[in-house]
Amino acid sequence: MRNKIIIGNWKMNKTPKEALELISTLKPLVENSEAEVVFCVPFVDIPCAVEALKGSSISVGAQNMHFEDSGAFTGEVSPGMLYELGVEYVIIGHSERRQYFAETDETVNKKVLKAFEYELIPIICCGETLEQREEGITMDWIKNQIVKAFENVPKENAMTAIVAYEPIWAIGTGKVATSEQAEEVCGHIRNVLREIYDDETAEEIRIQYGGSVNGANAKELLSMEDIDGGLVGGAALKADFANIVNYNK
Ligand code: 13P
């Protein structure tokens, strides 16, 4: 049985001081919940977030990393730096990084492989644009993204990965996918993983939905068979995040 995992993607929000304020609001509300909880905070907030969440059930994640161990890559952050700080998860290939920072399926794959070398669990993002959905190519597009992201990833690593299906048209728009639309694609992702690996691996990998998730729509989305959690943007910065985490209470 896959345990649900709710991840807050804070994006480029909250200074370290503000991060500590938000953590002190959210921590008592989401600690010791049935679902696993992760806060993916900006790089500069990681040290204080790790410290503030020490001994709690909440884990800290990053929102990106480089695919090399170290070197002349001005402005980048390496996986070893994240690991040393106590980071456990890292978002890879978010659509905003693909759109604004030229990330490709190839760099996503390199980052996924490198994350596992450092015992970081990748949260691998995929999703289609509105044009692609209207053209009817969503399923092919997603399959391609998943196949490329998992290239050369051994089964024992793949099993621990998290996939986040985030239709681009639903991100930050308030236009949430229906639970049927989200389930259709998450189920498809599981089938693609079954083709790449096997039943056991596909049943183990957790697949999240992301895109305008909030306390009001979480229960319906999270009750779908192949939706094992949520990747939450805007609502992760508010007390409403607790309603998502505690969706079945
Ligand atoms: P919103 O929840 O703000 O739509 O953002 C979703 C997202 O991009 C999470 O990674």
Q: Using CA of residue 193, residue 146, residue 95, residue 136, what is the dihedral sign?
A: negative
Positions of E strands within 93-237: 121-126, 162-165, 206-210, 229-232
Query: Token pair 């690996």 is at which residue?
Result: 197
Q: Is the pLDDT of residue 1 over 90?
A: no
For residue 125, which atom of ligand 1 is closest to its CA? 10
Active site includes 94? yes
Confidence (pLDDT) at 187: 98
Share of the chain above pLDDT 90, in %: 98
Q: Which of 232, 241, 243, 245 to mutate to test the pocket of ligand 1 (most atoms within 8 A of CB)?
A: 232
| Cα 83 to Cα 87: distance, rounded to the nearest angstrom | 5
Q: Average pLDDT for residues 175-204, to the nearest whole number?
A: 98
6 backbone φψ class: left, alpha, beta (φ>0; ψ -120 to 50): beta
The one-letter code for the residue type at 107 is T
Query: Taking all residues of the chain, what is their mean pLDDT, rounded to a whole number?
Result: 97
| Ligand 1 midpoint to CA 191 (Å) | 24
| Ligand 1 midpoint to CA 156 (Å) | 29
| Ligand 1 midpoint to CA 71 (Å) | 31
211 — pLDDT class (breaks 50, 70, 90): very high
Q: Average pLDDT for residues 74-83, to the nearest whole number?
A: 98
| Cα 203 to Cα 211: distance, rounded to the nearest angstrom | 23
Confidence (pLDDT) at 80: 98
126 lines ligand 1 (CB under 6 A): no
Token code pair at residue 133: 């959905």
Confidence (pLDDT) at 44: 98
* Integer CA distances (angstroms), 75 to 2, 65, 78, 242, in order: 37, 11, 10, 34
Q: Which of 124, 169, 212 to mutate to test the pocket of ligand 1 (most atoms within 8 A of CB)?
A: 212
- Identify the residue whose C-alpha is closest to ligand 1 atom 5: 233
Confidence (pLDDT) at 54: 97
Q: Which of 94, 96, 103, 183 is catalytic?
A: 94
Q: Which residues, 6 or more positions from 22, have their beta carbon under 8 angstroms from its beta carbon?
A: 14, 237
221 — pLDDT class (breaks 50, 70, 90): very high
| Ligand 1 midpoint to CA 232 (Å) | 5
Q: Is the pLDDT of residue 249 over 90?
A: no
Q: Which of 11, 171, 213, 221 to mutate to test the pocket of ligand 1 (most atoms within 8 A of CB)?
A: 171
Confidence (pLDDT) at 32: 84
CA 108 to chain centre: 13
234 lines ligand 1 (CB under 6 A): yes
| Cα 172 to Cα 167: distance, rounded to the nearest angstrom | 11
